[in-house]
Structure 1
Amino acid sequence: MRPAVLFILITVMLDAMGIGLIVPVMPDLIQEVQGTGLSKAALWGGVLSTTFALMQFIFGPIIGGLSDRFGRRPVLLLSLVVMTLDYLVMAVAGSIFILLLGRVIGGITAATQSTANAYMADISGPEDRAANFGLVGAAFGVGFVLGPLLGGLLGEYGTRAPFYAAAALAAINAIFGYFILRETVTDAIRRPFRWSRANPWGSIRQLGKLPGLRPLLLVYFLYQVAFIVYPAIWSYFGKERFGWDPSTIGLSLALFGIMLAIVQGGMIRFVLRVLGERGTVLYGHLFDIAAFMALAFVANGTVALILTPLAALAAVITPALQGIMSKAVGKDAQGELQGALTSASALAMILSPMMMTSVFASFTSSTAPLYLPGAPFLLSAALIALGLCVFVTFWPKQRTAMNTE
């Protein structure tokens, strides 16, 4: 593997760790700084996740556009430096407002995932992009493993320890990237930065003008809203339903992340070869519906631990959709496309955590009409079913449009 590709994968891994690292300790950390019960801590967790996502939503296309203009290298390196500082801020946070500030900074730095994906698009041929986006997804999965594991294990030494470790990792990767990362944006594909396109709505609106791309963006968005049920409520769900401690929560998320890395780093190449991009998207949606329905009603912690990695078998959806959409845009717009997808993911993270944690609180509070901690998973299953309907309705038109290009 080329050193530059390794750097990109590590960067994406660190982005994922920024989410997964805090999940196991977040209930205890919020209760520590706020002195509230678990249900209220879950609501504050939703606020912090939404703030993180809002920053990604705003800055995703801005950073993607800047990388199309000034290059991928400076954007990625600067983000890692700022990420290091952000983890240090989180490590010393003594109030919910400092945690909120940390999520603001973290959301901005994590928006560079769009630039990482654009870099992979720059160095990949059209036929290899879906599989290479799978590598990026696998790196995200590894981060999803290491983040909760690190957070769970170091959380035993205090709620602050994981953040110091993450700051060190981000700093080391910034130094590594400084020496090995080459620039892929040449004068042939460089284009001016325009605010009219470098904002969430402008970017999505511009890309939506391309034939058939708008329905795919909607399918991608619905999937992200549903998927975010894991980081949004999993720690609260595990603690409420099964009495899990931070280590067990970290282990469960690690199992999910390991399978996510296997699926997107290796299995997806086989699935794409056998089913094609359309079949891969269909398979992922159908499997996800079944997985969410099972998690909604699971009553045994051991069974839940078994189901957790199996649920990741549906994780082929994102790289397959990215591959389809990447083929529909020019080489000079890969950063813009990935910025728009980052904004779509961030918009999902703005809406989903508050929605999922509110549903969780409604069905676990003392006044709940029905006790059902898994209710958010039912909502996710419904969203996936809606996305499947949109994709099935849209695909024949999109296939015709692409075949004529």
Structure 2
Amino acid sequence: MVGYGIIVPVLPELIKDLTGGSVAQAAVIGGWLVFAYAVTQFVSSPVLGNLSDRFGRRPVLLASLLGLTFDYAMMALAPVVWYLFIGRFVSGVAGAAVATATAYMADITTPEKRTQRFGLIGAAFGLGFIIGPVIGGELGEFGPKVPFFAAAGLAFANFLFGLFVLPESLSKTHRRPFSFKRANPFGAILSLRKFPTVLWLLLALLFFTMAAQAFPSVYNYFTIEVFGFTSSQIGRTLGLFGIVFALFQAFGVGPLVKRFQETPVVVLGMSAAAIAFVGIAFIHAESWLYVLIVIGAASGLAAPAINGVMSRQVPDNAQGELQGAVNAANSLATIIGPLLATQVFALFTVSPQPFGYMPGAPFLLAAAFVILAAALFLFTAVRFDLSHKPSVALHPKTPEISPPGQMNIPTAEREGKGEDDESERD
């Protein structure tokens, strides 16, 4: 995740250097680059997971790290912009191996400790996205391609570590044939049709996550256009957002839910997001940007609270399906949100401006998505009386969702259980 975060602050400048175009034109291309990466990762994730079940975790992980090295090196050496798309497609496939990494963790961890170990993976991702933009922004002061060389070196160093140190975790006796049925990324959502409450909450979560995932994808272009930010300023402010966001999720969600239950916490988080988006859309003073970033980071309260509600709406034996559905919704939001935000930004900043000049337009759109998500959530809470409805699950497990700018990959806990069940049947 450090490697991904490193390139965010300098991507607009790299695209501008390759195309000779404006910030608006760079945003259009940047949006399609994120789209290419997200779609490829979404499709590839269950495929690589199945390949690791068939051939082992180690070869998939090593191939993934080589793919990331190739991606960053190609972007660093790219003479024309279409090289960036080749790199992003390769990176999408390689990045999907995060699911294989969690499977590796499940292989070497006892069942009672898996949740803790998966939490460590999530913490590492969050820390990487906090550190990555800061490092990338500072390196970008030496040139827009320098962070890509650094990311390539980091990925290749990881490959060498895996090649010489990492053992195989999945014995041949526990491997299973590749299955196209298990490689269907939409299967989890379809399996929850029998739980209408969850489907309504998933729809609310989808719109909210679309807004959240759009923020880091357009923020770099927006701050360059409005404030003339350098790469280091972009990296530092994204790092600030990541730190405060993580603090709200780590220390705010639990106590607030315990004191007020989930519904007020969801409304608080979504209100903070809407206020921040509307404020950023209209600001002209840089000092207010920092205030609104801190307010917007409180949006980190909403998604965990929604997920906590959903986890109580399905029985214990459907918790894995719920996790898969939340991952699928998050992935779709990551595909749609950044592309939509960057295209809207370009539409309102390109010269001549057919719709008027308003670089904050994508943040107004994000605020509208948040308000729609809040309306859907409150409608569901009232219609199904969620405040008084008893839990269906005896042991609810809150699904994970990634912070803005990241794509969440299903953890391997459910795959491991399925694998064990299949072994028992055999």
The SS at the match of 1:25 is helix
Determine the structure 2 residue equivalent to 1:382: 368
Determine the structure 1 residue equivalent to 2:191: 206
Amino acid at match of 1:375: A
Q: How far is 1:118 from its partner?
A: 7.3
Q: Provide closer, same or farther for how the CA distance between residues 332 and 104 of structure 1 changes in structure 2, counting only shifts above 3 A.
A: farther
Q: Are 2:392 and 1:403 aligned?
A: yes
Determine the structure 2 residue equivalent to 1:310: 295
The SS at the match of 2:7 is coil
Q: Are 2:355 and 1:369 aligned?
A: yes
Q: Provide closer, same or farther for how the CA distance between residues 95 and 211 of structure 1 changes in structure 2, counting only shifts above 3 A.
A: same
Determine the structure 1 residue equivalent to 2:279: 294
Determine the structure 2 residue equivalent to 1:4: none
Q: How far is 1:154 from its partner?
A: 1.0
Larger radius of gyration: 2
**1:76-225 equivalent positions in 2, closer than 5 A:** 76=61, 78-114=63-99, 138-173=123-158, 194-210=179-195, 212-225=197-210
Are the aligned partners of 2:68 and 2:155 in contact in 1 as well (CA < 8 Å)? yes
Q: Provide closer, same or farther for how the CA distance between residues 182 and 310 of structure 1 changes in structure 2, counting only shifts above 3 A.
A: farther
Which one is further off, 316-325 or 285-294? 316-325
The SS at the match of 1:159 is coil
Q: How far is 1:362 from its partner?
A: 2.2
Q: How far is 1:42 from its partner?
A: 1.2
Q: Provide closer, same or farther for how the CA distance between residues 235 and 311 of structure 1 changes in structure 2, counting only shifts above 3 A.
A: same
Q: Provide closer, same or farther for how the CA distance between residues 148 and 192 of structure 1 changes in structure 2, counting only shifts above 3 A.
A: same
Q: Provide closer, same or farther for how the CA distance between residues 120 and 307 of structure 1 changes in structure 2, counting only shifts above 3 A.
A: farther
Determine the structure 2 residue equivalent to 1:8: none
- The structure whose RCO (Cα within 8 Å, separation 6+) is larger is 1
Residues in 2 aligned to 1:237 and 1:143: alpha-carbon distance in whole angstroms: 23
Q: Provide closer, same or farther for how the CA distance between residues 63 and 213 of structure 1 changes in structure 2, counting only shifts above 3 A.
A: farther
Which one is further off, 257-266 or 148-157? 257-266
Q: Deviations over 1:133-188 (max 9, x none)?
A: 87665544322222221221111222222122223333444566785799599999
Are the aligned partners of 1:256 and 1:310 in contact in 2 as well (CA < 8 Å)? no
Q: How far is 1:65 from its partner?
A: 5.3
The SS at the match of 2:137 is helix
Higher helix proportion, which one? 1
Q: How far is 1:195 from its partner?
A: 2.1
Residues in 1 aligned to 2:85 and 2:37: alpha-carbon distance in whole angstroms: 8
Residues in 2 aligned to 1:132 and 1:234: alpha-carbon distance in whole angstroms: 32
Q: How far is 1:74 from its partner?
A: 6.4
Gaps of 5+ in 1: 1-12
Are the aligned partners of 2:273 and 2:296 in contact in 1 as well (CA < 8 Å)? yes
Which one is further off, 111-120 or 261-270? 111-120
Q: Provide closer, same or farther for how the CA distance between residues 100 and 84 of structure 1 changes in structure 2, counting only shifts above 3 A.
A: same
The alignment's TM-score, normalised by the length of structure 1, stands at 0.80
Residues in 2 aligned to 1:36 and 1:162: alpha-carbon distance in whole angstroms: 21
Are the aligned partners of 1:46 and 1:357 in contact in 2 as well (CA < 8 Å)? yes
Q: CA RMSD in A?
A: 3.8
Q: Are 2:347 and 1:359 aligned?
A: no
Residues in 2 aligned to 1:64 and 1:401: alpha-carbon distance in whole angstroms: 35
Which one is further off, 266-275 or 145-154? 266-275
Residues in 2 aligned to 1:210 and 1:72: alpha-carbon distance in whole angstroms: 34
The alignment's TM-score, normalised by the length of structure 2, stands at 0.76
Q: Provide closer, same or farther for how the CA distance between residues 224 and 80 of structure 1 changes in structure 2, counting only shifts above 3 A.
A: farther
Q: How far is 1:342 from its partner?
A: 3.9
Amino acid at match of 2:358: L
Determine the structure 1 residue equivalent to 2:424: none
Are the aligned partners of 1:42 and 1:357 in contact in 2 as well (CA < 8 Å)? yes
Residues in 1 aligned to 2:78 and 2:267: alpha-carbon distance in whole angstroms: 44
Are the aligned partners of 2:316 and 2:393 in contact in 1 as well (CA < 8 Å)? no
The SS at the match of 1:22 is helix
Q: How far is 1:281 from its partner?
A: 2.9
Q: Provide closer, same or farther for how the CA distance between residues 354 and 249 of structure 1 changes in structure 2, counting only shifts above 3 A.
A: same
Gaps of 5+ in 2: 395-426
Residues in 2 aligned to 1:235 and 1:49: alpha-carbon distance in whole angstroms: 13
Residues in 1 aligned to 2:181 and 2:216: alpha-carbon distance in whole angstroms: 32
Q: Provide closer, same or farther for how the CA distance between residues 168 and 347 of structure 1 changes in structure 2, counting only shifts above 3 A.
A: same
Question: How many corresponding residue pairs?
Answer: 387
